[in-house]
Structure 1
């Protein structure tokens, strides 16, 4: 399959950048959050958000990958800014379109325990303190998401939705990024060697409290 052949449906801070680095070091070209200018000669694409281009393709032709097939994988597909909130991994219509236009498409959902993921969101660039409660997200309306309890409920609901949607579909892999065999699981899923697996995009400015066990 040429073009995009794997999409990560995990939430931010679930290991999306780690997945991108692992796939890039394995020889794929992965888009993480943005379309990089070095990956396209089209000036209107470089610097744009992956999420925006997924929706541009979906609403233009029904094919979410119409403008992204310079990539093998999309590892961070959401964006949350003051003026834009796009979450295709939470959008049933977009997920259905992905599966219809690419029947052999592989999906991954990078996963961390909800409490750890919530804590990581809280500490990352005011994501939990300001941006989540100020945004409008699927399953997390404006005004919700400032507390751990609210974020955890939203996080658990997202992964439950994916489990309900994909069931036992072999094209879908929920990937606990901290599992000792995470690299082996990913390698088996995409049927290629993964020479590197570790931790990327670690929050060094506001590290986790070791007592909480979060990364």
Structure 2
């Protein structure tokens, strides 16, 4: 694998994605998280766009989901959950396979957290669990489901099972529990560089009406 391999996180919201983003950035890995900000790109066609939107556009138009994202090495919080639409690249085997074919050195991470705890956090994070997930068609969570924490926990577990089945036996995939004290060492060994920071970012101390843009 090359030193410039891409790093794709397949994690779901509220499973420690912001912590992972901060850890990668502290390791000087140029990482994009959820939305492309003005300070991250001079391309007016990318600024303000959600990461998943860009990935899907380039996947369907050109085959390579990372075609216009060559300036980034790390990719985190791929999904976008709106009130009337949702896109979830981390659940799409066709898109994941396209990344592997166009960027064969890519390494994939899956940050995991107890499904029940994740469901509880989702339900308390603005209107993600009360409106956005139950009212849109999400892979593995069709419209009309998800307003109950047990639904969300089953969906979270299903995603973990999907990723582990897709990457069974692969050496370019690492699943880890975000609460595991050995997680930073495991990630560092997998990626080939030390993580100088590991903590708890974006903690849900309050329940804002809308989640702030991850940075």
TMscore range, shorter length = over 0.9
Question: Does the alignment pair 1:22 with 2:23?
Answer: yes
Alpha carbons 1:17, 1:201 under 8 Å: kept: yes
Q: Distance in 2 between matches of 1:162 and 1:180?
A: 22
Q: How many residue pairs were aligned? A: 207
Following superposition, which runs of at least 4 residues in structure 1 exceed 4 angstroms of deviation? 1-4
Output one character per residue of 1:12-32: Cα deviation in whole Å (capped at 9) or x when no partner: 111111000000000111111
Q: What's the offset of the Cα at 1:133?
A: 0.3
1:6 touches 1:74 (CA, 8 Å); kept in 2? Answer: yes
Q: Is the 8 A contact 1:64 1:94 kept in 2?
A: yes
Correspondences of 1:2-41 after superposition (within 5 Å): 5-41=6-42
Give the SS at the match of 2:133.
helix
Quote the residue 1:154 is aligned against: 155
Q: TM-score, normalised by structure 1?
A: 0.93
| Residue pair 1:57, 1:67 contacting (<8 A) in 2 also | yes
**Could you tell me how far 1:46 is from its partner in structure 2?**
0.6
Farther off after superposition, 112-121 or 83-92: 83-92
The equivalent residue for 1:63 is 64
Contact 1:4 1:74 in 2 (8 A): no
What RMSD over aligned residues (CA atoms) do the two structures have, in Å? 1.4
Q: SS where residue 108 of structure 1 aligns? A: strand
Secondary structure of 2:111 counterpart: strand
Alignment partner, residue 134 of structure 1? 135
> In the superposition, relative to structure 1, how do residues 177 and 187 fare at CA in structure 2: closer, same or farther (>3 Å)?
same
| Residue 57 (structure 1) shift | 1.2
Judge conservation of contact 1:40–1:46 (CA < 8 Å) in 2. Answer: yes
Q: Matched residues in 1 for 2:16 and 2:64: separation?
A: 26
Cα distance change of structure 1 residues 189 and 69 upon mapping to structure 2, 3 Å threshold: same
User: Structure 1 residues 113, 58: closer, same or farther in 2, change over 3 A?
Assistant: same
The within-5 A match list for 1:90-169 is 90-169=91-170
1:80 aligned residue? 81
State the match for 2:213 in structure 1.
none
Separation of aligned partners in 1, 2:155 and 2:19: 22
Gaps (5+ residues) in structure 2? Answer: 209-215
- Equivalences for 1:41-60 in 2 at 5 Å? 41-60=42-61
Name the CA distance, whole Å, in 2 between partners of 1:37 and 1:60. 24
What displacement does 1:3 show?
6.6
Local SS of the residue matching 1:54: helix
Distance 1:173 1:7 in 2: 11
Structure 1 residue 4, shift from structure 2 partner: 6.4
Give the structure-2-normalised TM-score. 0.93
Q: Give 1:2 shift.
A: 7.8
